[in-house]
Structure 1
Amino acid sequence: MSQVEGSTSKPGDLDLIGIAASLPRQGDLIQKLSALATLVVLVIAFSFVNGAFLSSANAMTILLQTAVIGLLGLGMTVVIITGGIDLSVGSVLALSGVAAGLLVKAGWSVPVGFAGGVAVGTFCGFLNGLIVTKLRITPFIATLGMMLIARGVALQITGAAPVSQLGDAFGRLGNGALFRIVEKAPNGFPKVVFPGIPYPAILLLVAAVIIAYVLHKRGIGRHVYAVGSNEEAAHLSGVSVWRTKLFAYSLSGFMAGLAGLVLMSRLVTAQPSEGVMAELDAIAAAVIGGASLMGGAGTISGTMIGAFIIGILRNGLNMAGVSSFIQQIVIGCVVIGAVYVDQLRNRR
Structure 2
Amino acid sequence: MANISQPSQGAWTRMLPSSTAAFHRISALLTLAILVIAFSFASPAFLSVNNTLTILLQTSVIGLLGIGMTMVIITGGIDLSVGSVLALSGTVTGMMVKAGVPVVPAMMLGVCMGAACGLFNGFVVTKMKITPFVATLGMMLIARGAALQLTGAAPISQLGEAFGVLGNGALFRMVEMGDNGFPRVIFPGIPYPAILLVVIAIAASYMLRRRAIGRHIYATGSNEEAARLSGVLVDRTKLIAYTLSGALAGVAGNVLMSRLITAQPSEGVMYELDAIAAAVIGGASLMGGVGGISGTMIGAFIIGVLRNGLNMGGVSSFIQQIVIGFVVIGAVYIDQLRNRR
Question: Given the two structures, how large is their TM-score scaled by the length of structure 1?
Answer: 0.96
Cα deviation 1:309-329 (Å, max 9, x = unaligned) = 000001111111111111111
**Deviating 4+ runs (over 2 angstroms):** 1-4, 13-21, 183-188
- Are 1:15 and 2:6 matched, yes or no? no
SS at 1:271's partner residue?
coil
SS at 2:176's partner residue?
strand
Distance 2:151 2:38 in 1: 43
CA contact (8 A) 1:20 1:222 kept: no
How far off is 1:180 after superposition? 1.1
Distance 2:255 2:222 in 1: 33
- Are 1:184 and 2:177 matched, yes or no? yes
Q: Which of 295, 299, 303 is matched with 1:310 structurally? A: 303
Q: Which runs of 5+ in 1 are unaligned?
A: none
CA contact (8 A) 1:17 1:222 kept: no
SS at 1:183's partner residue?
strand
How far off is 1:184 after superposition? 2.3
How far off is 1:20 after superposition? 4.6
Distance 1:73 1:52 in 2: 28
Cα deviation 1:69-95 (Å, max 9, x = unaligned) = 000000000000000000000000000
Match of 1:123 in 2: 116
Q: Which runs of 5+ in 2 are unaligned?
A: none
Mapping for residues 115-264 of structure 1, pairs under 5 Å: 115-264=108-257
How far off is 1:149 after superposition? 0.3
Alpha-carbon RMSD across the aligned residues, in angstroms, is: 1.2
CA contact (8 A) 1:16 1:226 kept: no
CA contact (8 A) 1:133 1:242 kept: yes
Q: Which of 11, 24, 29 is matched with 1:36 structurally? A: 29
Instruction: Letter of the 2:114 partner, please give it.
Output: G
Distance 1:51 1:186 in 2: 29
CA contact (8 A) 1:24 1:299 kept: no
CA contact (8 A) 2:60 2:197 kept: yes
- Are 1:110 and 2:103 matched, yes or no? yes
How far off is 1:108 after superposition? 0.6
Mapping for residues 63-82 of structure 1, pairs under 5 Å: 63-82=56-75
Q: Which of 44, 52, 60 is matched with 2:45 structurally? A: 52
Q: Which of 65, 83, 86 is matched with 1:90 structurally? A: 83
Size of the alignment, in residue pairs?
A: 341
Distance 1:310 1:86 in 2: 19
How far off is 1:127 after superposition? 0.5
How far off is 1:58 after superposition? 1.1
- Are 1:321 and 2:281 matched, yes or no? no
How far off is 1:15 after superposition? 2.7
How far off is 1:19 after superposition? 2.3
Cα deviation 1:132-151 (Å, max 9, x = unaligned) = 00000000000000000000
Distance 1:60 1:297 in 2: 31
How far off is 1:291 after superposition? 0.1
CA contact (8 A) 1:17 1:223 kept: no
Distance 1:234 1:142 in 2: 23
Cα deviation 1:181-232 (Å, max 9, x = unaligned) = 2222332221222211110000000000000000000001001000000001
Distance 1:46 1:29 in 2: 26
How far off is 1:17 after superposition? 4.5
CA contact (8 A) 1:82 1:245 kept: yes
The verdict on how the C-alpha distance between 1:282 and 1:107 changes in structure 2, with shifts beyond 3 A counting, is same
CA contact (8 A) 1:133 1:245 kept: yes
23-32 or 127-136, which deviates more: 23-32
SS at 1:212's partner residue?
helix
Instruction: Letter of the 1:14 partner, please give it.
Output: S
Percent of pairs with identical residues:
71
